[in-house]
Amino acid sequence: AARSVGASPFSVAATHAAALLAADAADDADEGRRAVLYTLKGKNTDSGAYAAEATFDGIDAYRVDNGALFDVISKCRLVKSPAELTVLRYVNKVSSEAHMEVMRRVAPGMHEYQLEALFRYKCAHDGGARHLAYTCICGAGINGATLHYGHAGAPNDRRLGDNDMVLLDMGSEYHCYASDITRSYPVSGVFDERQRMVYVAVYEAQEAVLRAVRPGVSWLDMHRLAAKVLVEHLLRAGLLRGGTVDELLAAHVDALFMPHGLGHHMGLDTHDVAGYGAGMPKRSKEPGLSKLRTACVLEPGMVLTVEPGCYFIRALLEPAFADDTLGRYLVEDKLRAFLDFGGVRLEDDIIVTADGCENMTLAPRHIDDVEAFMKRARAGAVDGTEK
């Protein structure tokens, strides 16, 4: 059934599909016409992969239409049904509790893969979520500056140091529906001055977006908002100089520190379909904005991630130091001191509602809550009371 809000491309998707079927039914009434068979073929604008078109013996007996179905189905998947939202809330709860279990037990001397193992066990044992939505990213220290760390070439194998931050991007899957959550915090349980500065910058960027999200808002503008808050904090911390916030944004300095998009659609795929499908706004060519996985205008029932970050990536900063345009905005000596820092990302999964958003993610996020939770966990580890 169509789930409509106004006259957007999503709201007409099911109506369009019905019209196609009706037209073909009329055609099929003509004697001698073969029945129409719709097959799914199209390019996922996020991954670049093509859906494998179905085939079977005898398909030649049908008139095959492989051009209509992909965009229609993709648009229908953008707005979730109440039943879908129930599953998505549940898998977020499972993953949030698993993140909290890792936060409770993390300690110097552990390996990154042990944090992944704790997360996997908690999701499966307590939540019945036997599968993950994607490969776990468990970056300690400098590894937090690698956006998709944790794959086979970088297998979550670093030993955690006393002063490391960990960036943990992990989400379980339940009945084919994904969760996608990131938490960043110090292994010690207490933020030092540098860690606090970077964390608060990312937290405030995320909070600004969560307050601003509502139907009718452009996702491009949400990314711009997060970038603005991040640059304000870096300027205030003395890592940037030589211009106003607007001037730094115009020079795309923000993309040096957040070289990815603010977030993406989520559902049956972690990076769900239709980000740049037919009838959708086109991908921006601007640095930073070009990395967004969608440029949609928000509607009630959409599910997206909100995941600003701040990273100190040598491969981006070294060329920028020598660049005539970018270099004049960077306080090189102070930034070089951060090249071993890694990064901070906070990622929560939201449902767009009629007047704002619902945050499905439950793990502690405010810096005081994180420290208090980890302090209680360490006290419980001593006296056995923490549950």
Pairing of strands 343-345, 309-311: antiparallel
Checking if the pLDDT of 334 tops 90, the result is: yes
Cα separation of 194 and 230, whole Å? Answer: 15
> Percent of the chain having pLDDT more than 70?
90
Cα separation of 131 and 120, whole Å? Answer: 8
Checking if the pLDDT of 8 tops 70, the result is: no
Phi, psi dihedral angles at 201 (to 5 degrees): -60, -45
What integer pLDDT is reported at residue 273 of this predicted model? 86
pLDDT tens column, 126-183: 999 999 999 999 999 999 999 999 887 888 999 999 999 999 999 999 999 999 999 9
Cα separation of 370 and 384, whole Å? Answer: 20
> What is this structure's pTM?
0.89
pLDDT tens column, 100-111: 999 999 999 999
> Are 106 and 167 within 8 A, CB to CB?
no
What integer pLDDT is reported at residue 20 of this predicted model? 54
HEC-encoded secondary structure of the chain: CCCCCCCCCCCCHHHHHHHHHHHHHHHHCCCCCCCEEECCCCECCCCCCECCCCCCCCHHHCEEECCCHHHHHHHHCCECCHHHHHHHHHHHHHHHHHHHHHHHHCCCCCEHHHHHHHHHHHHHHHHCCCEECCCCEEEEHHHHHCCCCCCCCCCCCCECCCCCEEEEEECEEECCEECCEEEEEECCCCCCHHHHHHHHHHHHHHHHHHHHCCCCCEHHHHHHHHHHHHHHHHHHCCCECCCCHHHHHHCCCHHHHCCCCCCCECCCCCCCCCCCCCCCCCCCCCCCHHHCCCCCECCCCEEEEECCEEECCHHHHHHHHHCCCCHHHECHHHHHCCCCCCEEECEEEEEECCCCEEECCCCCCCHHHHHHHHHHHHHHHHHCCCC
pLDDT band at 238 (very low <50, low <70, confident <90, very high): very high
What integer pLDDT is reported at residue 375 of this predicted model? 96
Cβ atoms within 10 A of the Cβ of 148, count?
A: 12
Checking if the pLDDT of 303 tops 50, the result is: yes
Q: How far is residue 82 from each of residues 24, 73, 306, measured CA to CA in Å?
A: 31, 18, 21
What integer pLDDT is reported at residue 332 of this predicted model? 98
Phi, psi dihedral angles at 186 (to 5 degrees): -80, 140
pLDDT band at 3 (very low <50, low <70, confident <90, very high): very low
pLDDT tens column, 41-96: 988 887 788 888 999 999 999 999 998 899 899 889 999 999 999 999 999 999 99
What integer pLDDT is reported at residue 151 of this predicted model? 85
pLDDT average, residue stretch 355-360: 98
Cα separation of 174 and 172, whole Å? Answer: 7
Which residues, in sequence order, are bridge partners of residue 344? 310
pLDDT band at 11 (very low <50, low <70, confident <90, very high): very low
Cα separation of 284 and 363, whole Å? Answer: 33
Please name the amino acid found at residue 381.
A
> Are 308 and 206 within 8 A, CB to CB?
yes
Checking if the pLDDT of 24 tops 70, the result is: no
What integer pLDDT is reported at residue 1 of this predicted model? 36
**Of 69, 344, 140, nearest in space to 234 by CA:** 344
pLDDT band at 383 (very low <50, low <70, confident <90, very high): low
**Of 126, 132, 116, 118, nearest in space to 168 by CA:** 116
